[in-house]
Amino acid sequence: MLHGSRVTITVDADTLKRARIRAIERGESVNAFLASELRRYADADDAIARQREATAKLIDVARSIGGRSAGRRFSREDLYAERIDRYRAR
């Protein structure tokens, strides 16, 4: 068994009772749930940093690939012209 630090919280009796019932229904303990949530809370900054890093890499890749428009700006009509023509041909 993993031994960790103890934490004391104050919560009203009704909330604790409902939490214990819910934990029993889910096959877990209130302590295990709180420990899991505390880990998730503590790791949140790391997860956000990883997401930001992944987003920055994606943006870099997108910029390095570039498009095939050769600087041409497309209008909405240009983008949908083929579909509109097919629809009208029916």
Sign of the four-CA dihedral 12, 14, 15, 19: positive
Alpha-carbon distance of 39 to 32, in angstroms, equals: 11
Residue ranges covered by each domain of the chain: 1-65
Q: Compute CA distances 73 → 29, 65, 78, 81, 82, whole Å.
A: 59, 17, 9, 15, 17
Query: For residue 88, what are its two tokens?
Result: 């009208």
Alpha-carbon distance of 46 to 52, in angstroms, equals: 10
- Predicted pLDDT of residue 2: 61
pLDDT digits (tens, 9 = 90+) for 27-83: 999 999 999 999 999 988 888 899 999 999 999 888 888 777 777 788 888 889 999
Residues whose CB falls within 8 Å of the CB of residue 19, separated by 6 or more in sequence, listed in order = 11, 30, 33
